Amino acid sequence: MRIIIIGAGPGGYETALEAAKRGIEVTLIAGGPLGGTCLNEGCIPTKTLCHYAELIEQMSKAEALGITSAPAFDLAKIQERKAAVVEQLKGGVAQLMRHKLITLVEGCARLVDARTVAVGEERYTADHIIIATGSVSASLPIPGADLPGVVSSKEILELTEAPRRLAVIGGGVIGLEFASIFRSFGSEVSVLEYAPTILPRFDTDLAKRLKLSLTKRGIAIETSAQVSGIAAAADGALTVSYLSKGAECAIEADTVLMAVGRRPNLDSLNLADIGIEFTRRGITVDSNMQASVPGVYAIGDITGGMMLAHAATFQGLRALNHICGEPDGIDLGLVPAAVFTMPEAAMVGLTEDDAKVQGVPVKCLKAQFRANGKAVSMDDTDGFCKIIVAAEQPEGSAAPVAAGRILGCHLFGPHSADIIHEISALIARGATIAEFQSLIHAHPTLSEVLQSAARA
């Protein structure tokens, strides 16, 4: 069997490696650097900057904690370290791709038919094709969006000096992470979000509390803000105009980050000519990640669903399992997500609003990090935990979910991105809150906040 995979991001290269381990010949076509957006201009470089921002925040507390050391940093040297991290990991991926059953082809691919892909003048054929071309940064179609000083998430990663004033258009994951990073780097930061809350897909309580926490750090956040244009002054300053509650408003900035999401990278694939169904939101796929043309699959951001590297990886595994005729227990609807602000935020499963829409009665169990011994010892107590549990229904009613079953968890606080996976595993196994209450946790640990909530 032979497979062609178009795209060398996490979904593409990890699927290629797994296929090769199963004895399948793979042609992996990379239209850009190995590792894709995640490794080169997304997850990894951003989290490297997050790490240094966190160090700066910790150092800023040093004197109050008895350590006399004034925080100082060199953003240019931080950028050098970030680049070294990316190169190290790219080298590791390149080494893995030297598998004898993987042929790496560099270039832009286009589909010729359901079994053939062209790269330049060369053509490659296989039994199955997996499209994993990812996504690209989106931008608002407003006046001034192309002015110097208006940058994308890729370009802001290369700054060697922190702007004095940074305006962030978009209060989603990308926008908030950069807002948090550059606030630590000393920038005056303002965030403009079109929706009524930041992090529109996250739990409402979490979003409100995180907004309050970020505001206390000095980040100005304006929600229900419709950005209408960007203008440049003679001195190079930028003015971002927006509507808020019917009033015309404006903020000044030296740099403007356009962080309004990402769009599927559909360009050049030639999808319509071979009958593959797609919309501007991405390629249409079934539960096995198969497109409308049999034998062609699509995974990751190109499908327009959860644009997360780990989602793409497991979607690739689902597609490969379907190709091989192997069933699996992967629940593609249960994908944890994290926001690497300070403090971190993370979620998995249903939100309280989701449960209401689905008609599932729930109870919400909550606990605060300020009551957690480890968090107190770390002087990092800002945060809370909220566990969503199916509630009892009136006698005689048809319960869609058994009472007591854990349905979701929403965290913000230190190391939330790591802690969330315990609840993810429990939800995947259909665990109840009573079963979770009986699990012993080490003391003192941050994960005890989950137990505190479970016993609330």
Q: Which domains does the chain have, with CATH numbers?
A: 2-137+263-324 (3.50.50.60), 150-260 (3.50.50.60), 343-454 (3.30.390.30)
| Residues known to be catalytic | 443
Percent of the chain with pLDDT over 90: 89
At residue 429, what is the residue type? R
Question: So what's the pLDDT on residue 400?
Answer: 73
Judged by average pLDDT, the poorest of 59-68, 171-180, 381-390 is 59-68
User: Which residues lie closer than 8 Å to 405 by C-beta, 6 or more apart?
Assistant: 389, 390, 430, 431, 432, 433
pLDDT tens string 347-395? 999 999 999 999 899 999 999 999 999 999 999 999 999 999 999 876 6
Question: So what's the pLDDT on residue 398?
Answer: 62
pLDDT tens string 151-164? 999 999 999 999 99
pLDDT tens string 384-427? 999 999 998 766 666 678 889 999 999 999 999 999 999 999 99
Question: So what's the pLDDT on residue 305?
Answer: 86
User: Which residues lie closer than 8 Å to 66 by C-beta, 6 or more apart?
Assistant: none
Question: So what's the pLDDT on residue 58?
Answer: 86
pLDDT tens string 124-147? 999 999 999 999 999 999 999 999
Is cis: bond before 444, omega within 30 of 0?
yes
The average pLDDT across 74-102 equals 95
Binned at pLDDT 50, 70 and 90, residue 61 comes out as confident
Is cis: bond before 143, omega within 30 of 0?
no
Residue 432 buriedness (CB in 10 A; 0-12 / 13-18 / 19+): middle
Helices 75-96, 43-60: crossing angle, 10 deg rounding: 140
Q: Map the chain to HEC letters.
A: CEEEEECCCHHHHHHHHHHHHCCCEEEEEECCCCCHHHHHHCHHHHHHHHHHHHHHHHHHCCHHHCCCCCCCCCHHHHHHHHHHHHHHHHHHHHHHCCCCCEEEEECCEEEEECCEEEECCEEEECCEEEECCCEEECCCCCCCCCCCCEECHHHHCCCCCCCCEEEEECCCHHHHHHHHHHHHCCCEEEEECCCCCCCCCCCHHHHHHHHHHHHHCCCEEECCEEEEEEEECCCCCEEEEEEECCEEEEEEECEEEECCCEEECCCCCCCHHHCCCEECCEECCCCCCECCCCCEEECHHHHCCCCCHHHHHHHHHHHHHHHHCCCCCCCCCCCCEEECCCCCEEEEECCHHHHHHHCCCEEEEEEEHHHCHHHHHCCCCCCEEEEEEECCCCCCCCCCCCCCEEEEEEEECCCHHHHHHHHHHHHHCCCEHHHHHCCCCCCCCCCHHHHHHHCC
- Cα separation, 148 vs 129, in Å, equals 40
